[in-house]
Amino acid sequence: MSAFKDSVETLRLTVEKLSHANARFKDKKFVPEVREGDLKWEGNVFSFGLFYDTKHSGATKEQIANWRLPGPSEEVLDAAVQRGLKLRKLLLDSEHKHIPEIRRRARLAYAWSSRVRGSEERQFNVVLHEGAVKSHADAVRSVIAKG
């Protein structure tokens, strides 16, 4: 079994930092990963629900304040608007219809820590519930496969 007792709060903060979303603890499952008869890893994997703040994308007020840069001049804005109008006219006149792709966001993340080989330090792993990752065990398998 894993020698570390993961703090839910530490993992939650790690998930929030890496996913730029608010995270809420959901559950914990013990996952033994066995390959070809050998135990590769075993330990607790925590899942967190992800909640996106569409106004600020999960950023803190300090981060948002650091993002603010001096804005463009009036001339640059007018030139950009004119270019946009030309492109819009070209798109409307052509048969090509622009359909903006909706940005999909994961609603669940899996997190755990594991020992770094040859060290007493911990490595935090965060895997989003998307693509081939559909469970706690899939998340562990994906990290092991990356090696």
Q: Rounded CA gap, 40 and 124, in Å?
A: 17
Looking at residue 109, its pLDDT comes to: 95
Residue 3 is predicted with a pLDDT of: 44
Q: Which SS3 state, helix, strand or coil, does residue 124 take?
A: strand
Distant-in-sequence, close-in-space partners of 127: CB < 8 Å, separation ≥ 6 = 109, 110, 111, 133, 139, 142, 143
Q: Which two tokens stand for residue 83?
A: 């270019």
How would you classify residue 41: left for phi > 0, otherwise alpha for psi between -120 and 50, otherwise beta? beta
Tell me the pLDDT tens digit for each residue of 5-24.
568 999 999 999 888 888 99
pLDDT bin (cut points 50, 70, 90) of residue 140 is: very high
**What is the domain partition of the chain in residue ranges?**
8-69+104-146
59 against 147, higher pLDDT? 147
pLDDT digits (tens, 9 = 90+) for 31-52: 998 888 888 889 999 999 998 8
> Cβ atoms within 10 A of the Cβ of 50, count?
21
Asked whether 87 and 80 are in contact (CB, 8 A), the reply is no
User: 111-130, pLDDT tens digit by residue?
Assistant: 999 888 888 888 899 999 99
